[in-house]
Amino acid sequence: MKKVIAIDGPSGAGKSTVSKTVAKALNFFYLDTGSLYRAVAYYFFKKFGDAVEFSSISEDVIKTELSYIEINYENGRVCLSGEDISLAIREPRVGIITSQLSAMRLIRDFLLPIQRQFAERYDTVAEGRDMTTVVFPDAWKKFYLDASPEIRAKRRYEQLLILGKSITFEEALRDVIDRDKRDSTRKDAPLIRAKDAFYIDTSLYSIDEVVSIILKKVAEDN
């Protein structure tokens, strides 16, 4: 396996933007593992709509033609059956299904080798919910980004508005709080801070400052 910088944290903590910037600065590749889970959720959403029967999901998921295609150091694209769904998977309803699917061992077992195989090919900045604890427990560097629910909801709300999505701040905040609860209490691979992960409260810093802290920490530990 190549060098892996693993970054965990709750939704809206700034993981994606920070990870992309760090990857570019270090000439690493960026792996957005959350997009993989969203792609699987999108598959089931397209198939069943909001009425997904999670208890009935079995090996059917293996039939999805899911791939993560690296475009450059800043951006990745997720394709399902050859279709670029990178924007479609950001729908709020897909996000709700994603959080529920991510708690299923079958889904996690399906996506685990995809993530690890990526890191076997490239020096990688991988961000998600269990990068430091499950997917890359022996990662070269580990970080945990956090922020208050209100700040994370504001970031999510503004991001979705830019994408042209219709959502209120209250809906964004409720989604953040609900997802935090599901992610931290699920049986398999719950969202927790690894003991050896460097903690950063992104509420206190700009994106550039968070990136600077990470790059400085990486340089100090070399």
pTM for the structure as a whole: 0.83
Residue 90 is part of a domain; what is its CATH number? 3.40.50.300
Q: What is the chain's length?
A: 222
Task: Output DSSP code: residue 191.
Answer: -
> Which residues, 6+ apart, have CB-to-CB distance to 86 below 8 Å?
35, 76, 77, 78
- Domain for residue 222, yes or no? no
For the chain, percent of residues with pLDDT exceeding 90: 40
Task: Report the chain's mean pLDDT, rounded to a whole number.
Answer: 86
- Domain for residue 82, yes or no? yes
- Domain for residue 219, yes or no? no
**Closest Cα to residue 205, out of 216, 219, 196?**
216
- Domain for residue 218, yes or no? no
For residue 164, CA distances in Å to 12, 159, 202 come to: 18, 9, 25
Domain count, the chain: 1
**Closest Cα to residue 2, out of 138, 108, 131, 110?**
138
User: How confident is the model at residue 70, as a pLDDT?
Assistant: 44
The parent domain of residue 199 ranges over 4-212
pLDDT at residue 69 greater than cutoff 70? no
- Domain for residue 152, yes or no? yes
Helix H or strand E segment including 110: helix 105-121
User: How confident is the model at residue 73, as a pLDDT?
Assistant: 36
Q: Could you read off the pLDDT of 37-54 as tens digits, one per residue?
A: 888 898 889 888 888 888
* Token pair in block for residue 148: 């208050």
Identify whether the C-beta of residue 32 lies closer than 8 Å to the C-beta of residue 76: yes
Identify whether the C-beta of residue 177 lies closer than 8 Å to the C-beta of residue 118: no
Per-residue pLDDT averaged across 83-103, rounded? 84
pLDDT at residue 214 greater than cutoff 90? yes
pLDDT at residue 71 greater than cutoff 60? no
- Domain for residue 221, yes or no? no
Per-residue pLDDT averaged across 198-222, rounded? 93
For the chain, percent of residues with pLDDT exceeding 70: 91
